[in-house]
Amino acid sequence: MTRLALIAHDDEKPEMIDLAETYESLLSTFDLIGTGTTGKRVAEATGLTVERKESGPIGGDAQIAAEVAEDRLDGIIFLRDPLTAQPHEPDISALLRICDVHDTPLATTRTTAEYVLNGLAADTETMD
């Protein structure tokens, strides 16, 4: 099953929820994980099952990076706020590096997230 991680900075959580609602049918076929608050808010808004890791400030992003290193993720959507991210929010640098090393797609905007979702959907269809 396709496994996808969801992370969002505080100001981007509403966008993540909107994205999840828009793609709920597709996401329901994926195994989803997320950082604590993002995962909780997506699950509450959509009814999707999201395995919740720790919140970003206390290591959830590192737990997701470990999943990439263990080849357990097919992609990550990390909607980040490049202008006003707060110090307590997860930093993308280490996650980006590990994704590059393991050739795992990482989307940081709504548009790239949609491309990743459509690409993962196409991969799923070709595997069937």
| Binding-site residues from annotation for substrate | 9, 13, 35-38, 55-56, 88
Could you tell me which residues come within 8 angstroms of residue 77 by beta carbon, excluding any fewer than 6 positions away?
4, 5, 6, 7, 16, 19, 107, 113, 116, 117
Binding residues: 9, 13, 35-38, 55-56, 88
Query: Is 61 marked active-site?
Result: yes
Cα atoms in the 13 Å half-sphere on the side-chain side of 64:
39
The active-site residue, picked from 10, 31, 61, 71, is 61
Q: What residues are labeled active site? A: 61
